[in-house]
A and B are shown apart, each in its own frame.
Chain A
Amino acid sequence: MLATRCLSRPPRLGLQVGRTVGAGGSVERMPIIEIERLCKSYQVYQKKEGLWASVRGLFRREYRQVEAVRGIDLTVEQGEFVAFLGPNGAGKTTTLKLLSGVIHPTSGTARVMGHVPWKRENAYRRRFALVMGQKNQLWWDLPAQESFRLHQQIYRIPTSSFHQTLDELCQLLDVKNLLNQPVRELSLGERMKMELIAALLHAPEVLFLDEPTIGLDVVAQHNIQHFLRTYQQTKQITILLTSHYMKDVLALCKRLVIIAQGQICYDGSLTGIIDRFSTDKVVTLLFGGDRLPSQWEPLGRVLEVVGPKVKLRVERQRVAQVLASLLADYSIEDVSVEDPPLEEVIADAFNQVSRTSVPGAPLDRIVPGTRV
């Protein structure tokens, strides 16, 4: 069932974000990112355990073909803030690297602002930026200010606009007093702020963010989210974000793209994903009297019981029936029906995808640990 979903192109809601309507009422905006049947596969050396296997490996090596991205189609409009979600090894980072021109695809096409990324034209490289939460591009032993000056030279940013942009960004991120401190002495959160500044100094029109909040504490995550939201809304730039933190996604993105096993399995709105992948609702009941049901199984799965307050997970189509029967038989003071947390829905979606064998791609072709 889900395999069919994965293979067919899902409906897209993203077109509604950031579009402009012309005089005739038609949508005028051109897509800023266009990807068609993009594929990337590569060989990975298989090293077997033990000394003898290592010696044999000197003469005869075994390789495994990893299909990191398998025929992705995606269109992103100017001004969209799109979340790219998927389990480890799904192909998210590989897609971002393809769009940044860091690696060449095996087949397929992609255009970002009219440029083919892997041609690595300077005209393109001046118009986008990539921030990777797990990699550091600033000079480790120098204050960030020195790296920023270098960026100014490389991107040929005029001095006046360089200072203006730097001041704006420092103010937004509240790091003015850290500019002269060596990068190695900054905290992870402070370093990420500096990485963002370095990436935004040349005012990119497209920003690729690969797990920008990884490893950050809650406050630092919140600060980065707040900054990204403000910056994107002010500048109306296009952002593609990968993250494992649903709070990032909830705070920032209206459009979600789920990628698993190198293919897009969902492309739509936040609410759409809940409709699509969540089969349950969370029902919270506050019982009035002492009498509670003796058996819960026929009603749903108990998540929590605290005194007279009970939290149940009930199949979506049975919610009305369960509530009617409870209200008829028991004294209930308060009821709430909610969707499950997004983390759970996404985890369910990933699990459903992982359990489903996609034709031509046995699951063992992409193994844990092969992060792409």
Chain B
Amino acid sequence: MPGESVHPSYIRVLLTFMRNSLVRDMSFRSNFVIESVASTSWVFMNLGFYLLIFRYTNEIGAGSGWGKYEFFVFLSTTMFINSIIEALFMPNAQEFSELIRTGNLDFALLKPIDTQFLVSCRRCDWSSLANWLVGGSLLVYSLRQLTARAENPLQIHPLAFVLYPFFIVCGVAILYSLMISLSASSVWLGRNQTLYNFWFYITNFSRYPMEIYGGTYGTPLRAVFTFVIPVLIVVNVPARWMAWPFDVARSGPLSLFAVAATLASLMFSRWVFLRALESYRSASS
């Protein structure tokens, strides 16, 4: 077929991947249902935990801007981002390490399609998307509470409906970059289970508002996880645009930084990925 278009339709390939994953998940019905129930239960347990905390306090730190319902907007944003990551990228990153270790990456390298795309989007864990329903319900409920409260009700700016999903995408991109870079390091490390666990440890920091990191220990942590490994901005930036009153002066600088950090993260992960492919040795068959 020389001379023909050498680029596949990426969107069609992606849809076929998602379709195949769904067909596969559906063929193990019980497993699919159990996984959906388990991940949704975990989300509800988390929610219960924070409800407990808010029995004892009205906000996280005086004047931080994170009262009960603002925090629940934050929490629903975490749910959205995590469920996208868990559905689209987590199974692929896990499998990528295995592909490197077992030498099965060979087949991905043979295909006339961008290898990073192929490796990153092959599988989709549909059961993780069940959390979208919980996150969506929580977001709607919290926003209703915020907008309907008697004292200082929240007025949602129309632009917030654009900025919120945009920065969710940025957050997903940052976490994806981190995840794929760590997986790609399997090429040099042989096995990177520890680094993969490390991913869970550091993303734990992204789950809380950045205002809680203060004082002698908190400030350096906040600096590192904002400017070096920018996981703190993943949830914080979109959540601010939705939960707080629209204030460009307050959220703008961090948002601009989030865009720059997203681009830098994606470029860095692309660089790591390509370097990893060059060093790939392929296990014996």
Contacts and interface: CB of A to CB of B under 8 A. Distances in A.
Given A135-B104, A141-B24, A182-B27, A154 B280 contact: no
B19 to A, nearest CB: 8
A153 B27 contact: no
B17 A137 contact: no
Contact of A142 (B23, B106, B118): B23
B4 A97 contact: no
Contacts of A147: 20
B278 A102 contact: no
B216 interface: no
Interface stretch (B7-15, B85-93, B124-132): B7-15
B195 interface: no
A48 B280 CA distance: 25
Interface stretch (B108-116, B156-164, B232-240, B242-250): B108-116
Interface residues on A, range: 35 or more
A260 B103 CA distance: 23
Interface residues of B, number: 35
A372 B112 CA distance: 25
Interface-centre pick from A121, A142, A210 (highest chain B CB count, 10 A):
A142
Interface string A118-151: 0011110111011011110101011000110110
Contact of A150 (B13, B28, B112): B13
Interface in B249-285: 278, 280-282, 284-285
B217 interface: no
Interface-centre pick from A97, A121, A203 (highest chain B CB count, 10 A):
A97
Contacts of A135: 103-104, 106-107, 285
Contacts of B16: 149-150, 153
B215 interface: no
A130 B106 contact: yes
Contacts of A211: 285
A102 B110 contact: yes
B1 A203 contact: yes
A130 B112 CA distance: 13
Interface-centre pick from B20, B111, B285 (highest chain A CB count, 10 A):
B285
B135 to A, nearest CB: 29
B285 A210 contact: yes
Contact of A102 (B1, B2, B280): B280
A89 to B, nearest CB: 9
A81 to B, nearest CB: 21
B112 A155 contact: yes
B6 interface: yes
Nearest to A118: B278
Contacts of A134: 285
A127 B8 contact: no
A100 interface: yes
A267 B109 CA distance: 29
Contacts of A137: 107
Contacts of B194: none
Contacts of A122: 6-7, 112-113
A42 to B, nearest CB: 6
A37 to B, nearest CB: 21
A103 B282 contact: yes
Contacts of B7: 122, 156
Nearest to B6: A122
A93 interface: yes
Instruction: Please report whether the interface of chain B is mostly helix, strand, loop or mixed according to DSSP.
Output: loop
A101 B106 CA distance: 9
Contacts of B8: 153-156
B2 A372 contact: no
Contact of B27 (A100, A102, A141, A155): A141
B80 to A, nearest CB: 28
B280 A103 contact: yes
A121 B4 CA distance: 14
B99 to A, nearest CB: 11
Interface in B1-52: 1-2, 4-9, 12-13, 16-17, 20, 23-24, 27-28
A132 B285 contact: yes
Contact of A154 (B23, B106, B112, B278): B112
A130 B110 contact: yes
Contact of A103 (B9, B107, B281): B281
Nearest to A132: B285
A127 B1 contact: yes
A146 B23 contact: yes
Contacts of B20: 139, 142, 146-147, 150
Contacts of B281: 42, 103
A316 interface: no
B12 A371 contact: no
A104 interface: yes
Interface in A85-126: 93, 97, 100-104, 120-123, 125-126
A126 B16 CA distance: 19
Contacts of A121: 6
Contacts of A70: none
Interface in A250-299: none
B1 A202 contact: yes
Interface in B154-189: none
Contacts of B104: 135
A371 B118 CA distance: 28
Interface-centre pick from A125, A129, A202 (highest chain B CB count, 10 A):
A125
A132 B106 contact: yes
Contacts of A133: 285
Interface of B: 1-2, 4-9, 12-13, 16-17, 20, 23-24, 27-28, 103-104, 106-107, 109-113, 115, 118, 190, 278, 280-282, 284-285
14 contacts: A100-B109, A101-B109, A101-B110, A102-B106, A102-B109, A102-B110, A122-B6, A126-B112, A132-B106, A141-B27, A142-B20, A149-B16, A150-B13, A153-B13
